[in-house]
Structure 1
Amino acid sequence: MHCNWGESILTTAAALLTLTLAAAAAATATSASEPQLYGDIHIQGEFESLSQTRQRQQQQHLCQREQPAIFFQTHKNSPVRGNGSTIYYHRIETCCDGYRPNPYTEQCVPDCAHSSPDNCRNGFCRAPGYCECFAEFVRNDQGACIHTCPIACQHGRCYLNGTCVCQAGYVLDAETRLFCRAQCAQACGTHEECVAPGQCDCLAGYRRTAQLGCQPICAPDCGYGKCVAPNQCECFPGFIKRPQRNVCEAECYINCENGFCESRYKCHCREGYRYDVNTTSCLPECQDNCGQGNGVCIAPGVCRCFQGYELHGNSCVPKCERSCGNYGKCLAPNVCGCAPDEQRCLHGSCDANGHCQCPAGQINFIGHCLQQQKIEQHLGSLERRRERSEELKYEFNALIGRLFNSIWE
Structure 2
Amino acid sequence: MWNLATWLCVAVLATAREQRFDRLYKGRPENEIDTRLDRGGCDDAPTPIKNARIRILSARPEYHAVAECLPLHRTAINTTSLTMNCVDNKWHVVNFPEGSSVSCQPWCKPGCRHGKCKVKRNGLGTYCKCFPTYSGKTCENIGCRSLPLVTRAVVRWVKSKDSSEESSMCGRMPCGSKAMALCWRGSFFNVPGLDEALQGAKRPRRASFKCVNGHWRFEVPRRNILLPFDVAACEYVCYPPCQNDGTCLLTRHGYKECFCAKGFAGPQCQYRKCTNLLFHGGKMNLGRHAYTPIVRKDCPTGYIHTSTGTNTYVEKCVDGIWVTPEGKCVPVCERPCQNGGSCVAPNYCLCPPGFSGDLCERMSCINALTPTIAHAIYINEGHSLTIKCQPGFKFPSGKMSMTFDCVNGEWDFVTKRPQSCFADCSEAPCQHGGTCISPNKCKCTSFYTGDQCEHERCINPPKLLCNALGNFSSSSRLEYRIDCDPGYRLLDGSSHILASCRAGVWDFDLGFKASMDVRCRPVCSPPCLNGGRCVNKNTCHCPEGFLGDHCERRALLLI
Shorter-chain TM-score: which interval?
under 0.3
Structure (1/2) with the larger strand percentage: 2
Question: Which of structures 1 and 2 has the bigger CA Rg?
Answer: 2
TM-score normalised by the chain length of structure 2: 0.14
Structure with higher RCO (Cα < 8 A, 6+ apart): 1
Higher helix share: 1
